[in-house]
């Protein structure tokens, strides 16, 4: 195990704080770049969404790219995002009233504006495809959540009892696996049944996956061969080009991700110069601090 990468917030003449970041990249099942501990347990949170979208892609072979992309998204709740969720619901026989993702603070008080509404619309669709009841679809004892646990375990080449589980912010089951296994899962995603379509949809519609300015969206816009997805508490994952990578900020602060991603990207031949030093602006719009590798 190597030392984690240290990402600092520099304000003027002093270092204000330091974040430790673990990172790993995998190609053909082998680790090709690492800093920190690849066995560090990482909560996937929303980074599980491309994997959770696999049953949707399999069940609906004619589903369009926009519908698949929004199912793998943590969106910003713009009208473009909401319309994509409605399009997914319409294509699969669902309704907004069935969405059980909750109400997100700072957004209109309707579940469809929640950043996980696309994932939930996809879950409703999978329930219908399997003939499962929609009621209670987000509960851990529902067959849908059992299926999604199996999908995560298979993607990471783990037994189901090796996957940690908890409750996600939107109420579904959240998963935790070692960071190296997360990178492995992203490296394998396009080889899994339905994975090629999910990854292609994310590449085709990066703004649906996150939104303007989001790190995953920005990475896909700069490198169209890559698909990427962030997760809560400082997790970031990407696949494509025959590899997978995963980054985890130990203290959960996502502001350390871009400089760490620039370092890992340089080792992998992904140029990300704009991520090297991230400005922090004050209320006057002035650059007050910079986030960069220590």
State pLDDT tens for residues 151-208. Answer: 999 999 999 999 999 999 999 999 999 999 999 999 999 999 999 999 999 999 999 9
pLDDT at residue 1 greater than cutoff 80: no
Instruction: Look at residues 261, 264, 233 and name the one whose alpha carbon lies nearest to residue 44.
Output: 233
Name residue, tokens 């299926």. Answer: 147
Kindly state the helix (H) or strand (E) to which residue 266 belongs, with its residue range.
helix 257-268
**Model pLDDT for residues 80-94, shown as the tens digit of each residue:** 999 999 999 999 999
Which tens digit of pLDDT belongs to each residue from 24-74? 999 999 999 999 999 999 999 999 999 999 999 999 999 999 999 999 999
d(CA 206, CA 211): 7
Residue 112 banded pLDDT, cuts 50, 70, 90: very high
Over its C-alpha atoms, the chain yields an Rg (Å, rounded) of: 18
What percent of the chain has a predicted confidence (pLDDT) above 90? 99
> Cα torsion for 272, 273, 277, 282, to the nearest 10°?
-90
Q: Check: pTM over 0.95? Answer yes or no.
A: yes
Q: Which residue has the tokens 């294509």?
A: 91
Tokens encoding 287: 């650059």
C-alpha angle 197-85-149 in degrees, rounded to nearest 5 = 55
Q: 36 CB contacts (<8 Å, ≥6 apart)?
A: 1, 2, 3, 4, 5, 20, 21, 22, 23, 24, 179
- Residues 101-110: pLDDT tens digits? 999 999 999 9
pLDDT classification of 243: cutoffs 50, 70, 90: very high
Q: Is the dihedral of CA 282, 284, 288, 290 positive or negative?
A: positive
CA-wise closest residue to 32 among 180, 158, 223, 177: 180
Domains for the chain: give ranges and CATH numbers.
5-293 (3.40.710)
Residue for token digits 């890992």? Answer: 264
């Amino acid at each position: 195990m190597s030392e984690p990468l240290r990402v600092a917030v520099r304000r003027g003449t002093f270092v204000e704080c330091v974040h430790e970041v673990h990172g790993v990249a995998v190609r053909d099942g082998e680790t090709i770049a690492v800093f920190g501990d690849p066995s560090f347990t990482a909560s996937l949170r929303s980074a599980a969404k491309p994997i959770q979208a696999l049953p949707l892609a399999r069940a609906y072979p004619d589903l369009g790219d926009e519908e698949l992309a929004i199912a793998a998204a943590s969106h910003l709740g713009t009208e473009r995002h909401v319309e994509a969720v409605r399009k997914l619901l319409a294509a699969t026989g669902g309704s907004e009233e069935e969405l059980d993702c909750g109400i997100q603070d700072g957004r209109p008080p309707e579940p469809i504006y929640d950043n996980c509404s696309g994932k939930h619309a996809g879950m409703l669709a999978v329930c219908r495809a399997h003939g499962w009841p929609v009621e209670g679809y987000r509960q851990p004892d529902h067959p849908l959540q059992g299926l999604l646990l199996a999908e995560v375990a298979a993607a990471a080449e783990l037994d189901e009892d090796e996957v940690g589980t908890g409750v996600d912010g939107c109420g579904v089951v959240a998963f935790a696996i070692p960071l190296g296994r997360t990178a492995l899962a992203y490296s394998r995603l396009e080889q899994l049944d339905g994975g090629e379509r999910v990854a292609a949809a994310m590449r085709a519609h990066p703004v649906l996956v996150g939104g303007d300015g989001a790190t995953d969206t920005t990475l896909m816009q700069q490198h169209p061969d890559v698909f990427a997805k962030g997760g809560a508490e400082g997790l970031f994952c990407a696949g494509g080009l025959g590899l997978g990578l995963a980054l985890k900020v130990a203290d959960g602060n996502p502001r350390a991700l871009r400089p760490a991603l620039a370092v890992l990207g340089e080792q992998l031949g992904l140029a990300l110069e704009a991520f090297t030093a991230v400005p922090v602006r004050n209320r006057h719009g002035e650059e007050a601090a910079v986030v960069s590798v220590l």
